[in-house]
Structure 1
C-alpha cells in the first residue's frame, strides 16, 4: 500500500513500520509518499519528521493504543453494511436527541447504545446526535479535547463500533448526526505542529490555538478539515454534522471555510443520493449562517439557537443571572417563539453591545432549539438539570414550536443524574489545572463556581444515566408526556409548520401566562403558582400537563405551573 503525508516544510520524512523504517519521497504541494507492499489492514505505523518522533499519522484512521500510540491501517471497505435501503432523513419536521456515548449507558460503548435504540424509537425522535468521538486523553472526556480527528475513540468501540451503531440506527429508522470540532484541537496528544502550519500562531478562543484557515499553506489545512467531514458522511454513513463553535473559526478569505464545506457536502449528497445535514453552533445570530449558498449565505442547513433556550430556561426556572438577564420577560419569550432571535440587532447586556441581525424569511426548522443540551447543563458548576415541573412546561413549548427541537439524553424522563464537565488528562499540569481553567472560563456568568473536580473519575461516573429511574412513577409519567407531545407534533401539521410569521403569541407579564397560537391550535402555559382562566375560541382540550386543567367550550382553567394544548373549531 501507499503511505502519504503532508509536511510542506520538512526536509525528511520516514515511515516507521513494526520491522522497518523507510524514507518518503517529496512530491508536489508539500506531500510525501512511499509504497510499502508488506503493509495492509491492521499494520501499525508512525512517522519521523526531520529525525524527530515518532508521531501518529495526522490522518490516522485508527489509534488502538490511544493518542500517544502508533497509528493503525484501517480499510473502510472491510466493513459490511446492512443499511442499503436507507434513503437518509431530512431535518425538516425532525426531532434530534443528543447523547454522550460514554454516559448514555453504564458500559459507555457504541454496542451498549445499540441496546437503547428501541427507547428512542418509542420516544419518537428522528436523529441521534453523538457528542464528539475523536480520540481524547485518558479514558473519559466530553470529546472537545479531541486529536487524531480521522480516528474513533477506542474506549467507545473504535471505527467498527461506530459503524455498527450507525448501521443499527438506520435499521431502526434513525438518522445520525456527529458532533465535530474544527475550531481547535485538544492540548494533549496534538502532534500536528511538526508536520506543517496547521495553526495560525495565536489563541483563537478560550480553548486553544486558532487553526490556520487563511494564512500561508492554508489550502491544505482547509482540505484536512473538509476531507475529514467527507469521511464521516461517506465512509461512516453519517447523515449530518454538528460543527462546534464556528464563531471561533478565524477565516478572512472571500470564500469562508463553511461555504466551501457546504458546497462539498452538497456535491456528496448528490453522489450518495441522500440528504446530508450541516448544523453550525454559532452565537453570532447572523442569518447568513443559514442562508443557502445560492442566495449569498454560508450554506449551513441549520444552526443552534441559544436565544430560544435562554428564554425558555428563564421562564421555567426563574433564573436571571449572567446572559439570562435579557431573557427574563414574557416579552422576550414571545419574541423568541415568533422571531427566532431575541438579539437581532438590539443591545445585549451580557456582551455590553448590540448583537445579531433579524432572521427575516428564515424557516423555523433551520433553528435547532432546546430546553437542555450538553453545554447548558454541563456549563453549570454542578452540571445540574431542570426539575420535572420545569421540564413539563418547557417541553410543551419546545415541542410545539416552529423550530427543530433537540432533547438531551435523559431529559425525557427527568433524569436526576448531573452532567458536569469531566476530563482525564494524563499530563500532571493539565490534570491539576483543569478545575482552575474551567472556573476562569465562566467568570462573569453569575455563578458561584463550586464544581466537582473535572479529573476525578467519580465526576464522570455520576454523569452516567440511571435507566432504573424509569421504574419510578414520576419519571415514567414525564416520559409519557414527552411521548404524547412528540406524537401530537407529528400528527398535527400546524406544529411542524416552519413559517415564523404564522406564529402568534399573547401573554401577560404580570400574571406570567403565555398563549401560542399555531393555526387552530393554542398552547397555553401558566408559569405562576396561582391558577388562571383564559378565554379561547370555541373548541376542546387536546392535551394537558396536569389532571387539574379543566376546559369549557370557550375557556381553559390552568392551575399553577401547568400547560394545555387546545384546538379551536375554526382557525384562530
Structure 2
C-alpha cells in the first residue's frame, strides 16, 4: 500500500498502519513530501495515521474518511464506483433554482439517507439543485459544519463518503443537481492538525478566525494545491455540479494569480474533462463584479456570487428592521429593491454607513443577472439572529414573488417554501468543555451587546437547540403551510414556463414603486410582478393584463390593478399608467 504526506517541517515521519510504525522516506523529486510502501493492502477501511518526529499519530491531511472523528486515525476509501447508477450529464447554473439544505436538521435523523428520502418533495417543488451546507468532519455529532476540518473527508455521523454518494445518486434519480458548500478561509479550532505538518497558515494576514490560510507566503504552492485538489476531488468523486465557496473575501492572497482564479481555471478544465457543466458560487462581502468576471477580462472567473444587497433590501421592506447593515436599505426599502433588481448591487461605490466608508463598484452593463444569487433567507441570515427566527408566511408570500421572478439565480432555504414554524438556531457539539463554554459565553455576550437578555439566547451546546432547528415534515401537509407551498410551486413553474421571468437581463427589468403607499411593480419583458407591502388594499398604475398567478383573489372590473394587503400577483401584458417613482 502506497502512503504519502507533505510534511516539510518534520525530520522523521512514520506511517502507522493498524498500530504498527513503518518508516517513510523523503521523496527525491517533490520537496517536503514523504512516501512509503508499507503494511498489508487492507483496501477499503484500512486504518492509518502519520507520526511526525516521534509524536502522537495524526490523521492524514488528505484523509478521505475519519471513522472516529477529526482526531482519530484515517481510513482508506476505495475508488468510487457508480455502477448501477444512471449517467449524469449535469445541470447548468443558468436557469437554476437552488435549495440550501443542512443535512443535520433537514430531518430529525440528520443523515444523508434520511435526507435522500425527502428529495421527492424538492423535485415536486421544482428546484433544480440542492446546495448542501458543509459536510467535512467536525467535532461531535451535530453542528453547522463551518468549523470543519479534514477538507477531503465526509462527516461520519451523516453517513460518511458512502452516504454522500448514495445521496447524490438519489438526487440524480430525481433530476436534481448537487452543490456543496466548502470552507477554505479557515478550519475549526478543534481537530485541526494541519499546522503540525507544514505552513498551512500564516501570520502575515489575519482573519476573524485567527491566522490566515497560507495562500501567498513561503510554502503556499503546496497549500494552494491542497485546496484545489480538495475541491476537484469533491466534484469528481461525488459527481457534484458545483461548489459554494464560503466568505471568499477572507481569502487574502497578494500573488499575481489569485487563488480563486487558479481554482476557477482548474474547475473549468475539469468540466471539459468530464463533459458536463460545473460551477463555483462565491459568498463575497465585496460587491465586486470582478469576482465573477471572465478571467480573460481580468476577473477571477467564478460563475456566480451571493447578493446580500438584494436580501437586505427585501428584508427591510418585509420587516421594517433598520439596525446594523440594514440601516442604509431601511431609509427607502422599495427604492433599494428597485435599485438592486435593475442594477445588481445597491452599494456600487456608494457610502455604507455600517462600514463607515464607500463600498462596492457598479455591476457592469450587460452582465448576466444569473451571476448573482437572489434569496429572502439563508442559513446565515436566519441562524445568526439571536433566536434563529424565520420570516413569517405572510412575509414569505411577497418574498417568493420577488425572488422567483427576479433576474437573479433564485435560492431558497430549507423549509421556507411552506413557511416552516421551526427556528433555525446556532448549535454546536464540542466535546472539549473549555471550547464549549467559550462558544456559549461568546454567543451570549455578542447578542447581549445588542440589547438581548443573555438568558434568552439559546445554548448552542444544548441538544434541544439542534432539535428545535429540525424541520417538521408534517407541516407541509396542513394549513396554512400547504397554501404557501402551492404558491412556491406555482411561481417556480411559472418561471420555468415564461422566458421573460427567467431572463437574466437586468436592463430589461423596470421597477415602479410608491414608497409611501408601499407597493412595487416590476416589469419583466411582457410580464408584470405586482406586490403590495401595505396592510390595506392599494391600487397600482397597471390597467388590464392577464393574471397568471396571485396569492389572493383579486377584485374584478377595476380600471387599474388593485391588490389586497400583503398580496402579490404576476400578470401578462397590461398597460402601465403614470404614477409612482420609476427606475430601470
TM-score w.r.t. length of structure 1:
0.97
Shift, 1:435, TM fit: 2.3
Q: How many residues align?
A: 570
Match of 1:72 in 2: 75
Shift of 1:445: 6.7
CA distance in 2, matches of 1:202, 1:418: 39
Shift of 1:315: 0.7
Counterpart pick for 1:89 among 70, 88, 91: 91
Aligned pairs (5 A) from 1:156-235: 156-201=158-203, 204-235=206-237
Say if 1:6 and 1:32, in contact at 8 Å, map to a contact too.
yes
Contact 1:520 1:571 in 2 (8 A): no
CA distance in 2 between partners of 1:83 and 1:336 (Å): 42
Q: Summarize deviations over 1:296-326 as a string: whole Å, max 9, x none.
A: 1000000011000011111111111111111
1:29 corresponds to which residue?
A: 31
Post-superposition offset of 1:205? 2.3
The residue aligned with 1:357 is 361
Task: Look up the SS of the partner of 1:254 in the other structure.
Answer: coil
Distance (whole Å) between structure 2 residues aligned to residue 333 and residue 321 of structure 1: 17
Contact 1:539/1:567 (<8 A) preserved: yes
Q: Determine the C-alpha separation between the residues in 2 that align with 1:6 and 1:169.
A: 36
Q: Name the residue aligned to 1:14.
A: 14
Per-residue CA shift, 1:523-548, capped at 9, x if unaligned?
1111111211123143221111112x
Task: Return the match for 1:332 from 330, 336, 342.
Answer: 336
1:246 aligns with 2:251: no
1:434 aligns with 2:439: yes
Change (3 A) 1:571 1:300: farther
Consecutive unaligned residues of structure 1, counting only runs of 5 or more, are: none
Structure 1 residue 439: Cα displacement: 4.7
For the residues of structure 1 that align with 2:527 and 2:381, how far apart are their CA atoms?
30
Tell whether the 8 Å contact from 1:539 to 1:553 is kept in structure 2 after alignment: no
Q: What is the CA-CA distance between 1:19 and the residue it aligns to?
A: 4.5
Q: Which residue of 2 aligns with 1:260?
A: 262
Partner of 2:61: 58
Aligned-CA RMSD value: 1.7
In the alignment, does 2:570 pair up with 1:568? no
1:8, CA displacement in angstroms?
1.0
TM-score for both structures, normalised by structure 2: 0.95
Task: Tell me, yes or no, if the aligned pair for 2:541 and 2:576 is still in contact at 8 Å.
Answer: no
Q: Is the 8 A contact 1:13 1:50 kept in 2?
A: yes
Q: Does 1:379 align with 2:384?
A: yes
Q: 1:461 to 1:345 in 2, by over 3 A?
A: same
Residue 438 of structure 1 deviates from its aligned partner by 2.9
State the match for 2:156 in structure 1.
154
Give the Å deviation of 1:444. Answer: 7.5
3-state SS in 2 of match to 1:178: strand
Deviation at 1:502, TM superposition (A): 0.4
Q: Which residue number corresponds to residue 581 of structure 2?
A: none
Deviation (angstroms), 1:554: 5.1
Query: How far, CA to CA, are the matches of 1:559 and 1:570 in structure 2?
Result: 20
Whole-angstrom CA distance in 1 between matches of 2:526 and 2:453:
45
- 8 A contact 2:542–2:575 mirrored in 1: no
**Counterpart secondary structure, 1:34:** strand
Give me the whole-angstrom Cα distance separating, in 2, the residues matched to 1:448 and 1:22. Answer: 56
Deviations 1:481-518 (A, max 9, x none): 00001011111000010010000000111111110001
Gaps of 5+ in 2: 578-584
